[in-house]
Structure 1
Amino acid sequence: MATVQVQDQYSNCTMIRAEIEANNQKVQQLANEQGWKVAQNVGAGVVGIVLWPVWFGMDFKDAAGKEAASLQARQQYLTELATERCRPGYRTPAPPALYVAPSAPQG
């Protein structure tokens, strides 16, 4: 997950807070998953002493840990953005209007 995303420049306070809450839930899920992977790796490591092919089933990539780190960076950025955008009187810039070229006259 990228720390800064395109839609951030047009996100208002409500949108930022909603994403922060959604990310908090995702972080909790990743923490549970990461805990399970550690337990799974410990179990596989102990069994692998006797049955060495079990070691091939161990997770060495730590995908949950990497995703949690990127979410943490995103959360920090969103918190800074919320500090700016949630103060009274702040107006979020409107996205640029799409230009639609007029069609040629039929004749």
Structure 2
Amino acid sequence: MAKLQLKDLVYARSGDKGDISNIAVIAKEPRYYPLLQKHLTAERVKAFFGEMSKGTVDRYEVKTLHAMNFVLRNSLGGGATRSLRIDFTGKTMCQAILRIVLEVDESDLHLIH
């Protein structure tokens, strides 16, 4: 198994609407996208954010941009007007997602070389 940190593969942006956070990840190189499609799942993102994300996590692919958008419902403690969280608008969630470490089979490394 090889370990790859997401920050080495993607750029990220995040935002919010009420109690919903969305995080976009864009592959730094088009050749990274198949690896992301295979390993950066909605389940992986949900597990990474743990108790912070109390609702569902959906992944939307934007293949022409080699990007994905993750929508995390019930993840901002009620949203800007009700949350007691420091980052109640989810602006820093894109920095957090970059800390994900993907464990990939050696056979998948050809997808990034």
Q: Which has the higher strand share?
A: 2
Same fold (TM over 0.5): no
Q: Give the TM-score normalised by the residue count of structure 1.
A: 0.27
Q: Which has the higher helix share?
A: 1
Q: Give the TM-score normalised by the residue count of structure 2.
A: 0.26
